[in-house]
A = this chain, B = another copy of it.
Amino acid sequence: MTNALHNSTDSNSMISSSSPSSTIHLQNIVANWHTLAKLSGSAETGVVVKANAYGLGATKIAQALYEAGCRTFFTAHTNEATEIRKAVGPLALVFLFHGLQQDNVDIVISQDIVPVLNSLEQLKLWQKANAPFPAALHIDTGMNRLGLQIKDIADAKDILPEGRIGWVMSHLACADTPEHPMNARQLELFKKVAAVWPQAQKSLCNSAGICLGKDFTFDLTRPGIGLYGGYSRANVFTPKHAITLTAPLLNIFSPEHFEDATIGYGATLPVKPNQRLGTVALGYADGMLRSLSNYGFGYIKGVRCPIVGRVSMDLITLDITNAPSDTSILDRVEFLGQHANIEEQARAGVTASYELLTCLGTRIPRVYEQPEQSS
């Protein structure tokens, strides 16, 4: 799987020595899907490719997963669903989480997109549309965000009886905390309400949900972050990294050390004696969030270098005192990848790996490392 790699890029923008860049490891994403499919047991394993596949490139990733055998794709917005339909062709199932509105009924039906109905209003709209295929139904079992309320189940069954609903879904609020009582409570409630449409397929699990075990996986699972290298559970699931993000050093210097000498905006951090600093062409406009200021890190030739001072819009300063002494201008620093673990970087920024991925900016070209063709 690891040899015979072919690279392609999404972007017309010049990848220059002074620009950030990223490599998207399609073969690792495919490997993560296989691992999650194994954990999903007898359930089919779909993939969540909304938000441009968490920022990494929906078309390329959907195509690689389709090649690997995946046939079910989940999106949030209508134009995401039509992008995926175009990417993977007519044979795949494409779900639309945000469901149905007056102005997307025609495109949903003509593009054969399965709307995930979230309210009685959406159910009535689907009934009226009289589509030649069934819809999915999302029931809110405790997340209190989107989905049909429990009290509306009987009405829903009247509007769309058995046969008109092909899938019943819900979403776990606390799947990444296995011991949280919410998980068992949502599971029991889901079983009860899903039984109202006994012939419909059942789906409850995201990546973390899959790791809760076979009681949760039902007929169809919907991993997202696990594909993209961003969730792990000890002894159960450790994903491969999906992205390597690097940017070049623009400046290397030893700042003058005196009382009140500081680093960066707001003068938040004093200069240390004999400190060596390196400033990198990457900033929060590229998705390295300001919350990483003084806490995040980059790797230079395998050596961890802490972010010092505030992250700026286009620049990050690192303490490179411990980096190899031959480190020089335009050497590239890894901020996400094999060394710079995404979960650890996210914790340093008081956020989640999801957000580090979806915030990656448009100045970062995505170069795709292709999996070996199976044919």
Contacts and interface: CB of A to CB of B under 8 A. Distances in A.
Given A13-B79, A18-B101, A261 B309 contact: no
A146 B316 CA distance: 10
B146 A250 contact: yes
Contacts of A182: 260, 262, 267
A309 B144 CA distance: 9
Interface string A144-166: 11110111000000000000000
Interface in A112-166: 118-119, 121, 140, 142-147, 149-151
A102 interface: yes
Given A174-B265, A267-B182, A16 B104 contact: yes
A255 to B, nearest CB: 5
Contacts of A144: 253, 255, 261-264, 271, 277, 309, 317
A161 B297 CA distance: 39
A330 interface: yes
Contact of A256 (B149, B309, B317): B149
Given A118-B251, A309-B144, A361-B358, A314 B50 contact: yes
A355 B315 contact: no
A284 B79 contact: no
Interface stretch (A64-72, A335-343, A346-354): A346-354
B250 A99 contact: yes
A326 interface: no
A250 B317 CA distance: 42
Nearest to A107: B14
Interface string A343-375: 000000011101100110111000000000000
A102 B351 contact: no
Contacts of A79: 13-14, 16, 19
Contact of A309 (B145, B315, B355): B145
Contact of A173 (B267, B284, B314, B361): B267
Given A118-B251, A180-B267, 5 more contacts: A54-B285, A98-B281, A144-B271, A145-B264, A173-B267
9 smallest beta-carbon distances between A and B, as pairs = A51-B285, A285-B358, A76-B314, A144-B255, A144-B263, A18-B101, A17-B103, A284-B355, A290-B355
17 contacts: A13-B79, A17-B101, A18-B77, A50-B285, A51-B363, A54-B313, A55-B285, A77-B314, A98-B314, A140-B253, A144-B271, A145-B264, A177-B266, A284-B359, A285-B358, A290-B355, A358-B361
